[in-house]
Amino acid sequence: MLTTTVENFTGFPDGVRGPDLMANMRKQAENVGAKIVDRNATKVDLSTKPFKVFVEEKEYTADSLILATGASAKWLGLESENKFKGRGVSSCAVCDGSFFKGQELVVVGGGDTAMEDALYLAKIASGVTVIHRRDKLRASEIMQRRAFAEQKIRFVWDSIVEEILGDRKVEGVRVKNLKTGEVTALKCGGVFVSIGHQPNTELFREFVEVDKTGYVIAKDETKSSRKGVFVAGDVADKVYRQAITAAGSGCKAALDAVRYLEALKDHQ
């Protein structure tokens, strides 16, 4: 939803706009009989069969359920960040990095995701500046070694991004040192916020097993801990987080759900 042009989804050699890709997927699903409800699920009850999904007061029931609520990127919470989303501010280096070839870029964060993004962008950009609020990284030792060894990557420690600067697109960031209070401006063409993702699992955490960060634990590819409930996409994937990998896991979950329903029917 936040990506203008998607260039890493198979079948689109010239890329495709994110909203257009979504509209095409929806139309294809509707053409084969899928019914789409444009409302948010507000509650679920997976404790008994059939499963219940509520949209406010309306109740839907199902013999099988696929959880595909995704994960939301964590943001800095700046007004200027919202202003430039899709115009120089991104949460996905792999998705949007190719738009910034040869430019100076900023990565915000200090974990493995931030280092992966910085290393990826270093292959594309003229230089990458990592801004981290602490005086040392939280990333694994191997990721730190790789990042420190890359000559294109620089580090700004003990600092936060106070504001993203620009007119119609990102032109720089205003950075504040948390120890000295010094405020400086840094020119850049893009800002990648790499402070992690939050899986959208609040609705059903009490019914299926999740890990310590809230991602659904999948067994045998798509099976949750509750029989008949399957998972697809970023709600269970904290490694790849790409549209194409999510689509592939959606196919797996659908096939597994169909097999589960057929087995139920055979035993009735």
Active site residues: 92, 95-96
Residue type, 151: Q
Rounded-to-integer distance, Cα 149 and Cα 143, Å: 10
Rounded-to-integer distance, Cα 105 and Cα 125, Å: 7
Q: Is the dihedral of CA 205, 210, 214, 218 positive or negative?
A: negative
The answer to whether 170 and 78 have CB atoms below 8 angstroms apart is: no
The answer to whether 3 and 92 have CB atoms below 8 angstroms apart is: yes
> Which CA distances in Å does 40 have to 44, 49, 69, 153, 202?
11, 22, 10, 41, 13
Rounded-to-integer distance, Cα 93 and Cα 135, Å: 24
The answer to whether 21 and 95 have CB atoms below 8 angstroms apart is: no
Per residue in 52-68, is it b (16+ CB within 10 Å) or e — as a string? bbeeeeeeeebebbbbb
Residue type, 94: V
* Element spanning 65, H or E: strand 65-67
- Strand partners for 154: 129
